[in-house]
Structure 1
Amino acid sequence: MAYDAFVLLSFGGPEKPDDVMPFLRNVTRGRGIPEERLAAVAEHYLHFGGVSPINQQCRELLAAIEADFAAHGVGLPAYWGNRNWHPMIEDTVAQMRDDGVEHALGFATSAYGGYSSCRQYWEDIARAQEKVGPGAPRISKLRQFWDHPGFVQPHADAVREALGKLDPAHRDSTRLVFTAHSIPVSMSENAGPTGGRYLAQLEETAGLVAAQAAPGLEYDLVWQSRSGPPQVPWLEPDINDHLESLAGKGVTDVVVSPIGFVSDHLEVIWDLDNEALETAGKLGLGFARAGTPGTDPRFVTMVRHLVEERTAGRDRERLGRLPVWDECPGCCVPPRRASR
């Protein structure tokens, strides 16, 4: 099958204060989130001048991918489109059509299965194609990569680096804590014939990173960035509650590794570098936050390797054992949306 372009698919984020509320309304459309809740979340962005790092991180990643493609003879022009803020995916699809693109490969900045982390990108693509209309290019989304060496190894190195910042005399009472974005329990449990891919894949990644970075060190997988009405159960425990629990069990130091993310965007910075750090300080816990892959050369190379799996028959590179699909099997149930 012939492909004639590559497109980076991401979440998007505001780049000035006036962007913040319109961006949050895009993120929460159809979910019935009250304006006062959006205003509270907006304060997280305004704390950083109304600018989310994610768009600049995407620019840097796209530039690194383009350089890597050029160095290795991958002749695909690269585009970028977001789900929730400019450049919006529908505008990108329109530009691709105008440039004569017929069939592109799409790489989403999410390693895992699940509705918002995978299936919703397929819906984004379909919505953009419908809006653009005749001539809209076909876009085939590249596979998930939670267990790819190019994702696991940068996380493992970041954990080792973070461990080096803590008191080695406390190693026996140090805990490794992995975090990812919480989702409603119903979405985790009701995932069709393939089961709860999101949770299972995160558990596999946690085990792979821990084995490489800190063999023998106890670790946990916990959650951050919960949203939605309080009466709806979400995956728990929250990172802050978990830190309190660990302190009560005699843990003295923690390394927190956000394996649910590919870059240090605002949720990582706010939830971990602000809230979790503050919680750890109140509890007297030593705290070190591990970084994310970002533009690590191994992560950039991984993107090219995923492309070459499709374009050149490259063998899959995988460290785990869970099943993975090239085409979405339609197993991730969307959340129930509020009626209008």
Structure 2
Amino acid sequence: MSAAPLPFDALLLVSFGGPEKPDDVLPFLQNVTRGRGIPDERLVEVGEHYYGFGGRSPINDQCRALMAAIETDLSSNGIDLPVYWGNRNWDPYLPDTLRAMAADGVRRAAYFVTAAYASYSGCRQYRENLAAAVATVGDDAPELHRLPHYFDRPGFVEPFVDATLASLDELPTGARMVFVTHSIPTAMNDVSGAGGAYVAQHHAVARAVAGEVARRTGGSAAYDLVYCSRSGPPSQPWLEPDVGDHLEQLAASGTPGAAVIPIGFVSDHMEVIYDLDTEAKDVAERVGLPFARAATPGVDPRFVSMVRELVLERASTERDEQVVAALRGSQDGTSAYCHKTCCPNPRAALAAL
């Protein structure tokens, strides 16, 4: 018996975007911070993170690699589904990608976001950007259907288990597992999902990884959840502790080492190669704390095949009209898996989206 045809014409990979060369850095940061009143002088300071790596973010090349891996995985499993890629903040921009999809005859597409957790910046803002892109393209824009959240899927969790084990092998016995994610304002966490979902979901992943590591090694499942990449005014509370501060505390307490596991990221973004591989590593060296950073999933075959599984799951949901009717209702029209009151926009002008 042949498989049921997919109710989609394409899969859209949606990501953050990043500069490709030094001249891109300031315009890219202006895109990211538009509407926040941040002066260019401050953006130039932030841009030094990129200039230290040749003015090129790794994220676009990682998206290209992920897109190619997904295409290969779909094809090898008998699924004829073209894959497109669009960014929020840099080329290829979402409106341009949607225009290309429309020109190719795509009418209905599933989309996968390279952010695994619930929060305004990691979920709803992408949905708003997609809604704006659809409005820009107009009636020819394809109908978009969000794939489910995946922070707790084996394809995301299992690569971190293996990466954690590999990093612990580099360290003295008794090294601490330190899970790291991008900090966000505490107020944003408070309204994520049912309230605090951003932190709760990260703890769920950390517990799953640490528990499996302990099962395999016979060691402790103890871990810490810390944060990186804090921004915003000092008066605004953000999630803490900072990874650098925490490494200093571990060293002071006599901890024999730290395995730093970036569970907040699907690949080695700038926050990983700068905030962890550069700044956090420098802190660890300064205080004499043995340090190893675990790999992100990237194009791990389990992560890639997870995307295919999500597509098939979403397709199955689409075929059950009663389930679809119950799930629909988000006001931006692009997501069937998030309630319209989840992760509200903190900016009043867009609060209704």
Deviations 1:200-223 (A, max 9, x none): 111100101111123524210000
129-138 or 297-306: bigger deviation:
129-138
Distance in 2 of aligned mates of 1:190 and 1:121: 16
Determine if contact 1:146/1:201 at 8 Å carries over to the other structure.
yes
CA deviations over 1:98-131 (Å, ceiling 9, x no partner): 1111110000001111111111111111010011
Tell me whether 1:46 sits opposite 2:46 in the alignment.
no
Q: Does the C-alpha gap of structure 1 residues 243 and 288 become closer, same or farther in structure 2, counting only changes over 3 Å?
A: same
User: 2:345 corresponds to which letter in structure 1?
Assistant: P
Contact 1:254 1:285 in 2 (8 A): yes
Give me the TM-score of the superposition, normalised by structure 2: 0.88
1:276 corresponding residue in structure 2 = 280
In 2, Cα distance between equivalents of 1:214 and 1:138: 45
TM-score, length basis structure 1: 0.92
Letter of the aligned partner of 1:31 in structure 2?
A: R
The root-mean-square deviation of aligned C-alpha atoms, in Å, is 1.6
Q: Distance in 1 between matches of 2:164 and 2:26?
A: 35
- Is 1:198 the counterpart of 2:198 in the alignment? yes
Return closer, same or farther for 1:240/1:90 CA change in 2, 3 Å cut-off: same
- Counterpart contact for 2:178–2:225, Cα < 8 Å: yes
2:145 to 140, 148, 163: 140
Amino acid in structure 1 at the alignment position of 2:182: H
Partner of 2:346: 335
* Whole-Å separation in 2 of the counterparts to 1:254 and 1:337: 42
CA distance in structure 2 between the aligned counterparts of 1:206 and 1:226, rounded to whole angstroms: 20
Q: Does 1:208 align with 2:178?
A: no
SS of the residue 2:297 aligns to: coil
Q: Which residue of 1 aligns with 2:325?
A: none
Question: Percent sequence identity over matched residues?
Answer: 56
Q: Look up the equivalent residue of 2:244 and give its one-letter code.
A: N
In the alignment, what sits opposite 1:248?
Answer: 252
Query: d(CA) in 2 for partners of 1:73 and 1:28?
Result: 42
Q: Deviations over 1:162-216 (max 9, x none)?
A: 011113xxx23x1110000000011111336x21211111110010111112352
Secondary structure, aligned partner of 1:134 = helix
1:75: which partner in 2? 80
Distance 1:252 1:139 in 2: 49
Residues in 1 aligned to 2:229 and 2:348: alpha-carbon distance in whole angstroms: 19
| Deviation of the 1:266 alpha carbon | 1.1
Query: What letter matches 1:200 in structure 2?
Result: A
Provide structure 2 residue ranges, at least 5 long, that are not aligned to the other structure.
1-5, 319-334
| CA pair 244-336 structure 1, distance change in 2 beyond 3 A | farther
Paired residues, number: 323
- Alignment partners' CA distance in 2, 1:210 and 1:326: 32
Contact 1:252 1:284 (C-alpha < 8 Å) held by counterparts: no
What is the rounded CA distance, in whole Å, between the counterparts of 2:67 and 2:301 in structure 1? 12
- Secondary structure (helix, strand or coil) at the match of 1:133 reads helix
* Kept in 2: contact 1:175–1:217 (CA 8 A): no
- What runs of 5+ residues in structure 1 fail to find an aligned partner? 315-324
**1:124 alignment partner, one of 126, 129, 137:** 129
**Deviation readout 1:252-271 (Å, 9 max, x if unpaired):** 20000000000011110000
Equivalent residue number for residue 23 of structure 2: 18
